[in-house]
Amino acid sequence: MTEENAEKTPVEKTSTEAAGRATGLSRRGVLGAGGAGVLAGAALGAGLVSVARADDSAAPTYGGRIPFHGDHQAGIATPVQDRLHFAAFDVVTTDRARLVAMLREWTIAAEAMTAGRPAGRGAVGGNVLAPPDDTGEALGLDASRLTLTIGFGPSLFGRFGLEGRRPAALVDLPHFPGDRLDPARSGGDLCVQACADDPQVAVHAVRNLARIGFGVVSVRWSQLGFGKTSSTTPDAQTPRNMMGFKDGTENVPGTDAAQLDEHVWATAEDGADWMAGGSYLVARRIRMHIETWDRTGLREQEDIIGRDKGEGAPRGRQKERDKVILEAMKPDAHVRLAHPDTNGGAKILRRGYSFTDGTDGLGRLDAGLFFLAYQRNVTKGFVQIQKSLGADALNEYIQHVGSGVFAVPPGVAKGGFWGDTLFT
Partner 1 sequence: MRSVPLLAVTGLLSVTALAACGGEDKPADPNALTITSTDTECEVSKTELAAGSNTFKILNKGTQVTEVYFYGPDGKIVSEKENIGPGTNYDITVSLSSGDQQIACKPGMVGDGIKQNIKVSGQASALDPRLTKAVADYRAYIDAQIADTMAKTQKFAESVKKGDVDGAKALYAQSRFGWESIEPVAEAFGDIDPKVDLREADLESGDTWSGWHKIEKALWVKKTTKGEEGTADQLLADLKTLQDQVHTVDITPASMANGAKELLDEVATGKITGEEEAFSHTDLVDFQANLDGAQKVFELLKPVVVEKDAALDKTLTDGFATLQTLLKKYDEGNGAKTSYDKVKPADRKELSDAVNALAEPLSKLAATVG
The footprint of partner 1 (CB under 8 A) covers 1-4, 6-7, 9-15, 92, 123-124, 127-132, 136, 211, 214-216, 218
Three-state DSSP class for residue 386: helix
DSSP state of 59: P
Q: Are 306 and 330 in contact (CB under 8 A)?
A: yes
Give me the residues paired with residue 221 across strands. 88
Nearer to partner 1, 140 or 340 (CB): 140
Nearer to partner 1, 127 or 318 (CB): 127
To partner 1, the closest distance from the beta carbon of 93 in angstroms equals 9
To partner 1, the closest distance from the beta carbon of 91 in angstroms equals 11
Contact residues for 421 (Cβ-Cβ < 8 A; gap 6+): 273, 274, 275, 276, 409, 410
Contact residues for 61 (Cβ-Cβ < 8 A; gap 6+): none
Three-state DSSP class for residue 4: helix
Find how far residue 351's CA is from the centre of its chain: 6
Q: Identify the burial level of 344 via C-beta atoms within 10 angstroms of its C-beta, where 0-12 means exposed, 13-18 middle and 19 or more buried.
A: exposed
To partner 1, the closest distance from the beta carbon of 161 in angstroms equals 21
To partner 1, the closest distance from the beta carbon of 131 in angstroms equals 5
d(CA 351, CA 187): 19
d(CA 97, CA 375): 30
Nearer to partner 1, 49 or 101 (CB): 101
To partner 1, the closest distance from the beta carbon of 33 in angstroms equals 15
Nearer to partner 1, 94 or 318 (CB): 94
Nearer to partner 1, 97 or 258 (CB): 97
To partner 1, the closest distance from the beta carbon of 357 in angstroms equals 19
The gap between the terminal CA atoms of the chain, to the nearest Å, is: 41
Kindly give the pairing relationship between strand 365-375 and strand 353-359: antiparallel
Integer angstrom CA distances of residue 149 from 74, 133, 142, 299, 314: 6, 21, 19, 40, 33
To partner 1, the closest distance from the beta carbon of 12 in angstroms equals 7
Give me the residues paired with residue 311 across strands. none
Give me the residues paired with residue 406 across strands. 281
To partner 1, the closest distance from the beta carbon of 4 in angstroms equals 6
To partner 1, the closest distance from the beta carbon of 226 in angstroms equals 27
To partner 1, the closest distance from the beta carbon of 321 in angstroms equals 48
Query: For residue 377, which of 282, 286, 258 has the smallest C-alpha distance?
Result: 282
Nearer to partner 1, 3 or 235 (CB): 3
Nearer to partner 1, 223 or 301 (CB): 223
To partner 1, the closest distance from the beta carbon of 212 in angstroms equals 9
Nearer to partner 1, 53 or 98 (CB): 98
Integer angstrom CA distances of residue 165 from 180, 268, 273, 407, 421: 30, 13, 9, 11, 11
What's the half-sphere exposure (Cβ side, CA atoms, 13 Å) at 150? 28
Nearer to partner 1, 2 or 424 (CB): 2
- Return left, alpha or beta for 339; rule: phi > 0 is left, psi -120 to 50 is alpha, else beta: beta
Nearer to partner 1, 13 or 330 (CB): 13
Nearer to partner 1, 215 or 345 (CB): 215
d(CA 170, CA 250): 25
